[in-house]
Amino acid sequence: MKRKIIALTLAAAAALTALTGCSEKATGTVATDGSTSMEEVIGVLGEAFMDDNEGITFTYNPTGSGSGIQAVQEGRCDIGLSSRSLKDEEKESGLTETVLAYDGIAIIVHPDNQVKDLDVETISKIYKGEITNWSEVGGKDSEIVLIGREAGSGTRDGFESITETEDQCKYRQELTSTGDVITTVSQNSDAIGYASLASVNDSVKALSVGGVSPSESTIKDGTYVIQRPFVLVTKNDTKLSEAAQKFFDFATSDDAVELISKAGVVAAK
């Protein structure tokens, strides 16, 4: 009886190994720290990773990109998470960035809106309240209704930092989910809003920005500008722990692509 159990266990272990392609079972913890905007994507990845690797605990500390980078530098976490590229001096100080995904933010309007294209500067002026009427940008004569997200939202943070409108947006509505933004814009012919590209559907129209319409390919090649990278930050001179390395490999593998797109961003792979 006992022998049978052992044999079974071995067989199961062999099967698992064959599935995951790893030679030994790692234990330990993977600590990540950083960008609050990456909460969703890192949550999805972490969950799937823990399901596949029993015995490894995955933690995520949402502190913000800056603190995440600092935390990995000081060795307080295994992998730092940043929703912006590393600055040159950060790279010089011995950090490496690996782009995990790109967060593309679509600018959406009602399908009946005649406006098809805006450049970043105009979008920024619209959101700052310097342009208030659609006729000023080639639309019909009606007031522009600004729809945004609540303070603290990753999408809002991303949109405002790319368009350089931090704390200056004159929102008419601050909604708490991407779905709410899309529904509201689809119902108001004068509304403009922003939402992560993955969730945009036919009920609204995504504007092209500076002549480039948003799509996975234009986000990946960088021509669509309202986007930012989601970056995994690691230290050059310190080797990752076995568990952390395993997570890193998993997150950058082909298997993770689908999970990453499920979280509403474009995988870098």
Partner 1 sequence: MKNKKQILETAIHGIFLVLGLITVGSVLLITIYLVIAGIPAIREIGLFKFLFNDTWKSTAQPPSFGILPFILTSIYGTAGAIILGVPIGFLTSVYLAKLAPPKMRSVVSSAVSLLAGIPSVVYGLVGMLILVPGIRKLFHIPDGSSLLAAIIVLAIMILPSIINVSITALEAVPKEYEDASLALGATPIETYFRVSFPAAKSGIAAAVVLGVGRAIGEAMAVMMVSGNAPNMPSLFQSVRFLTTAVASEMSYASGLQREALFSIALVLFLFIMLINAALNFFLKRSKEG
Q: Which residues bind partner 1 (CB under 8 A)?
A: 36, 39, 62-64, 142-145, 150-154, 157, 166-167, 171-176, 180, 183-184, 187-188, 190-191
CA atoms within 13 A on the CB side of 235: 19
Q: Is 166 exposed, middle or buried (0-12, 13-18, 19+ CB in 10 A)?
A: exposed
Looking at this protein, which amino acid is placed at residue 74? Answer: E
CA atoms within 13 A on the CB side of 14: 6
The nearer residue to partner 1, 98 or 183, going by C-beta atoms, is: 183
Ramachandran category for residue 72: left, alpha or beta (phi over 0 → left; psi -120 to 50 → alpha) = alpha
Angle at 213 between CA 207 and CA 218, to 5 degrees: 145
> Quick one: CA dihedral 247, 159, 96, 94, positive or negative?
negative
The nearer residue to partner 1, 174 or 242, going by C-beta atoms, is: 174
The nearer residue to partner 1, 47 or 150, going by C-beta atoms, is: 150
The nearer residue to partner 1, 12 or 151, going by C-beta atoms, is: 151
The nearer residue to partner 1, 29 or 61, going by C-beta atoms, is: 61
The nearer residue to partner 1, 39 or 119, going by C-beta atoms, is: 39
In the numeric block, the tokens 């619209």 are attached to: 126
Q: How far is the CB of 218 from partner 1 (least distance, A)?
A: 28
Query: Would you say 200 and 206 are in contact if contact means Cβ atoms under 8 Å apart?
Result: yes
Q: How far is the CB of 154 from partner 1 (least distance, A)?
A: 7
Q: How far is the CB of 25 from partner 1 (least distance, A)?
A: 35
Q: How far is the CB of 253 from partner 1 (least distance, A)?
A: 28
Give the Å distances, CA to CA, from 263 to 154, 161, 198, 248, 259: 12, 21, 8, 17, 7
The nearer residue to partner 1, 172 or 269, going by C-beta atoms, is: 172
Closest CA to 148 of 119, 181, 121: 181
Q: How far is the CB of 182 from partner 1 (least distance, A)?
A: 12
Task: Write the DSSP symbol of residue 219.
Answer: H
Q: How far is the CB of 231 from partner 1 (least distance, A)?
A: 19
Q: How far is the CB of 144 from partner 1 (least distance, A)?
A: 8
User: Bridge-partner residues for 96, per DSSP?
Assistant: 234
